[in-house]
Amino acid sequence: MKKYILFILLVVNAAVIAAQTNAGTKIEEENAMTANKTGDDKASFSSILNALGKFTSQDGSAITFNPTLYGLVSLFKPGIKKDDKFRDAVFMRNFQLNLGFTPSDESIFNIDDFQSGFSYAILNNKKLSAADYKKLQESESANQKALFQSAIGKYISENDNNEGKLAEQYAYRTLSESDIDNMSTALRDYLKKRLGVSKNEVLAAMASGLEKIFEEKKTELSKRTSLTFDFKSTYSFADKQWGELSFTPVNLYCYFNKTKSNSPGLNATLSYVLGTDTSTKQALKRRTIETEVGMNFPIKVNPETEKAAFEIKPGISYKYITARVYRDEKKSQFDPTLTFRIRINDDFYLPLKLEYDTENAELFGFLSIQFSLN
């Protein structure tokens, strides 16, 4: 009876095999997509938590934390990681808090200002949708995998002995060509005859083709377009007033080629900023429109892991002052930027951003530490 039950389970499993790839669960699938993102893309919008410490030569140091609501809730309610809970937590996964503080020059225990705000992902579809699952289920690879699973199930049901038990180890696994080579001759010959193939590599392709398609799909999913709306505020404890309010209706990240792991990514932001007029010390009176466009190039991408050793992002920033222009200051200005981001591991990056002030002929360096946690 056990053999027939296992055979039925294998047949049922083959019918929904597209939903049972190596990723296993929804949260594991999305984490797999996130792992394929570039460090620059992760900095644009985090998966669970993105921590960034900035040590700059211009405006002082700042330490920021960007956790999603889902990431925070999951710390206290692990049950939210279950598939049904994860699937329904769309708002929490798309809502990111932007928190930070600037330590004073005298002591890290004294805070000059506090930053708060949020980002909401208007477009954040780096995950398998129902349509994606349907395409996988209807693919030729899914059909081949189903036939392979059914053949193994049939063999197990017909061999109520040690040979059938040995065959069970190949039932639910992704099989390589070496796995096929290590099969018993009886099982391998049975599968070849029943499936109408003659080579071991063909059997291996039938057994693992769906997983290979999923790996390719991960590349495409990780490079889908994201669009967020950001709001950030800064409160100055020294001046006891709001130092800055920033509204970013457009924070766009997109790739030119979604099938290549080394495809460059375009990041464009547009912000409206209310800041302090330093000449009169009046809060939120100086107003600017700021935009920055950069092209991020992954360098030395590992073809297996699809991760780059480092990234280079040349760009250009533009500032237009709509209110409170200082004496001898231009109303608008373009400045070139260049960011180097070194990947230490999957979660740890070292970004160095260089900005050249064309008006004053000065070069500023912004060394940061980026920690992204899935």
* Tens of pLDDT, residues 330-361: 999 999 999 999 998 877 888 999 999 888 88
The yes-or-no verdict on residue 8 having pLDDT over 50 is no
Give the max Cα distance, the chain: 92
Listed by start position, the domains of the chain span: 2-24+131-219, 37-126+224-373
Instruction: Write down the pLDDT at residue 1.
Output: 42
Average pLDDT over residues 77-87: 78
pTM score, whole prediction: 0.74
- Between 71 and 253, the more confident residue is 253
The yes-or-no verdict on residue 211 having pLDDT over 90 is no
Taking the C-alpha atoms of residue 17 and residue 139, their distance in angstroms, rounded to an integer, is: 11
Confidence band of 326 (pLDDT split at 50, 70, 90): very high
- What DSSP string describes 115-159? EEEEEEEEEE--S--HHHHHHHHHSHHHHHHHHHHHHHHHHHHH-
The yes-or-no verdict on residue 293 having pLDDT over 80 is yes
Instruction: Assign 3-class secondary structure to 150-199.
Output: HHHHHHHHHCCCHHHHHHHHHCCCCCCHHHHHCCCHHHHHHHHHHHCCCC
For 49, the token pair is 């938590």
Q: What average pLDDT is seen over the chain?
A: 80
Cross-strand pairs, 68? 96
Is 37-126+224-373 in CATH node 2.40.160.40?
A: yes
Confidence band of 77 (pLDDT split at 50, 70, 90): confident
Confidence band of 324 (pLDDT split at 50, 70, 90): very high
Taking the C-alpha atoms of residue 102 and residue 351, their distance in angstroms, rounded to an integer, is: 18
DSSP, collapsed to helix, strand or coil, labels residue 64 as strand
